[in-house]
Amino acid sequence: MKIAIAGAGYVGLVTAACFAELGNQVTCVDIDDEKIKKLNSNIMPIYEPGLMEIVVKNKREQKLKFTTDLKSAIKDSEIVFICVGTPPKKNGEADLSYVENVAKTIAEVMESYKVIVEKSTVPVETGEKVWQTIKSNNRHNVDFDIVSNPEFLREGNAIEDFMKPDRIVIGASSEKAKRIMENLYNPLNAKILFTDIKSAEIIKHASNSFLAAKISFINAIANICEITGANVDHVAEGMGLDKRIGKSFLNAGIGYGGFCFPKDIEAFIRISEKLGYDFRLLREVQGINENQKEFFIKKIEKSMWIIKGKTIGVLGLAFKPNTDDMRFAPSIDIISRLQSEGANIQAYDPQAMENSKTMLKDVEYRQNPYDAAKGCDALIILTEWSEFKDIDIAKIKNLMNRPLIIDGRNIFDASHMQSLGIEYVSIGRKN
């Protein structure tokens, strides 16, 4: 099939590369000229394991191309995916202006039937707004359908998630659009759930909210564990073995971040409010998440006593492992706060240091975990990259001014660390 993808970000780029890999003819469009230039020179604008290989391969086989010319891409395609950003406005609602822009362009240039797919995360009833926008700007008066096909990929595992999804959700109002989407996804052999458009839109916000609630729940439990001297890892394991609960998203830590959870939870609260429902449960989820960063800073203050003039090494900046994405990463708030208290920060992250430079000031970036630990009064762990789990702790200890590790992701075994002579502080365990 001929597909146009509007937006070459984490979602658009992965979607474009994967649909090309499945045998479709894909044109991926972005308004960011630099991004398109990079992609045309085989430079990936984001770090995503396995992405480069399939982009390069499908470009070579002429199944995938990149351009800034959205109009031509739309004209030439049967299906148009909207994968542009829906960032939060100041009041927390989703900014849908990028979605509207694409919808208007589609309406102006389309000369034949198109399936227009919302893949960006949008509030319920956006499908109706997109339909209305296209209807009222439909210059050539052609037939079209709107489909909601939310994306559930996880950064760092995006290709695998796209190619082997737990489920594909397709919200459609016409049989014709349903069949086209079914054919498109057929090669994946995955479970497809067909719904109406509004239900599909809600599935995305409800899923992210539920996962965020799971994280906040275990973080609340971690606080009870700390007060009582219990161990949150054991509690999470005991809970997770119950099939009704499941073990994923039960890792206590410094809370969730990233481009999806914080903005989607806030947007869902706003949507509910507008609809006349006060989603207090989600406000509490948010509140616990904010407090978790505060608790972590308190731990650092308690362990170090005076922050001013001290050097703190930081391992991990990205909001989670295997990505370079720094958007709404907890590291931003935590590091800024420590700097405001007078700390000198020296940090290392395997992929996110370039992006971090645009978001954090006065951080000294180091080339590996050992250089980040050198001469510091405490080492804090903010992202659970697997390479950190394998570091030589004895070497780290010798490099540090004081062998104090404050672990915001519980990546080490506390008794092992103590046996190595490390002052070890973690989350939800007896410290």
Among residues 245, 243, 333, 261, which one has the least CA distance to residue 296? 333
| 22 touching ligand NAD, by CB under 6 A | no
User: Residues 410, 411, 416, 418: is their CA dihedral positive or negative?
Assistant: negative
Which contiguous run of DSSP H or E holds residue 168? strand 168-172
Task: Report, in Å, the least distance between residue 205 CB and ligand NAD.
Answer: 10
Which residues are annotated as catalytic?
260
Task: Report, in Å, the least distance between residue 32 CB and ligand NAD.
Answer: 4
Backbone φ, ψ for residue 149 (5° rounding): -135, 75
Among residues 427, 406, 412, 430, which one has the least CA distance to residue 254? 427
| 109 touching ligand NAD, by CB under 6 A | no
CA distance linking residue 5 with residue 26, whole number of Å: 7
Q: Which of 64, 102, 297, 329 binds ligand NAD (CB under 6 A)?
A: 102
Quick one: 86 or 356, whose CB is closer to ligand NAD? 86
CB-based burial label for 402 (10 Å; 0-12, 13-18, 19+) = middle
Task: Report, in Å, the least distance between residue 215 CB and ligand NAD.
Answer: 16
Quick one: 327 or 429, whose CB is closer to ligand NAD? 327
Quick one: 116 or 304, whose CB is closer to ligand NAD? 116
Of 55-84, binders to ligand NAD (CB under 6 A) are 70, 83-84
Of 253-282, binders to ligand NAD (CB under 6 A) are 259-260
| 12 touching ligand NAD, by CB under 6 A | yes
Of 178-197, binders to ligand NAD (CB under 6 A) are none
| 1 touching ligand NAD, by CB under 6 A | no
Quick one: 85 or 408, whose CB is closer to ligand NAD? 85
Task: Report, in Å, the least distance between residue 202 CB and ligand NAD.
Answer: 14
Binding mask 118-157 for ligand NAD (x = CB under 6 A): --xx-----------------------------x-x-x--
CA distance linking residue 194 with residue 373, whole number of Å: 52
CA distance linking residue 411 with residue 389, whole number of Å: 6
Quick one: 31 or 230, whose CB is closer to ligand NAD? 31
Backbone φ, ψ for residue 324 (5° rounding): -105, 10
CA distance linking residue 165 with residue 321, whole number of Å: 20
Quick one: 29 or 393, whose CB is closer to ligand NAD? 29
Query: At 231, is the secondary structure helix, strand, or coil?
Result: coil
- DSSP structural state of residue 88: B
Structure tokens at 314: 């930081």
- DSSP structural state of residue 229: T
**Cβ atoms of residues 323 and 155 within 8 Å:** yes
Which range of residues in 27-35, 214-222, 248-256, 383-391 is near ligand NAD by CB under 6 A? 27-35
Name the closest residue to ligand NAD (Cβ). 9
Among residues 7, 117, 22, 98, which one has the least CA distance to residue 64? 22
- DSSP structural state of residue 94: B
CA angle 198, 199, 204 (to 5 degrees): 100
Which range of residues in 8-16, 55-63, 124-132, 216-224 is near ligand NAD by CB under 6 A? 8-16
Q: Which of 30, 145, 333, 349 binds ligand NAD (CB under 6 A)?
A: 30
Quick one: 6 or 363, whose CB is closer to ligand NAD? 6
Q: Which of 55, 79, 80, 85 binds ligand NAD (CB under 6 A)?
A: 85
Q: Which of 16, 17, 22, 29 binds ligand NAD (CB under 6 A)?
A: 29
Of 364-403, binders to ligand NAD (CB under 6 A) are none
Query: At 63, is the secondary structure helix, strand, or coil?
Result: coil
User: Residues 349, 355, 360, 362: is their CA dihedral positive or negative?
Assistant: positive
Q: Count other Cβ atoms within 10 Å, centred on residue 276.
A: 6
Quick one: 2 or 395, whose CB is closer to ligand NAD? 2
Which range of residues in 6-14, 169-177, 301-309, 418-426 is near ligand NAD by CB under 6 A? 6-14
CB-based burial label for 174 (10 Å; 0-12, 13-18, 19+) = middle
Q: Which of 67, 101, 173, 339 binds ligand NAD (CB under 6 A)?
A: 101
| 352 touching ligand NAD, by CB under 6 A | no
Task: Report, in Å, the least distance between residue 122 CB and ligand NAD.
Answer: 7
| 4 touching ligand NAD, by CB under 6 A | no
CA distance linking residue 175 with residue 181, whole number of Å: 10
CA angle 347, 349, 350 (to 5 degrees): 145
- Residue ranges in contact with ligand NAD by CB under 6 A: 6-12, 29-32, 35, 70, 83-86, 98, 101-102, 120-121, 151, 153, 155, 259-260
